Amino acid sequence: MGQYDERVEKQRNKLAAEEWAKGVKCLHAHSVSSMHYDDRPQDTADGKCVTDVEYNDGSVNRTLSNGETVMLGKALKGQDLIDAYTKYM
């Protein structure tokens, strides 16, 4: 019966990592352009404020002062996501 234990554990980790990825890692309300993931300094130019929600998968949802939303960062996928999840656990 133990022949599938490794496959089952891998699938269990994959599903858990996918659920974990949706969780909020941190929340920033700011007007600085020096965030490590920020490739849109124009969003905070002239003192404009933004709110960034960073998720466990590495993606960032930015809400601009006018209400528009922009996705930043690159979401982890596949084995990279599982590795980040198991490192977290």
SS3 annotation, 23-77 = CEEEEEEECCCCCCCCCCHHHHHHHCCEEEEEECCCCEEEECCCCCEEEECCCCC
pLDDT along the chain (89 residues), means of 10: 84 96 96 90 94 97 96 95 91
pLDDT of residue 1: 55
pLDDT of residue 49: 96
pLDDT of residue 3: 80
pLDDT of residue 27: 97
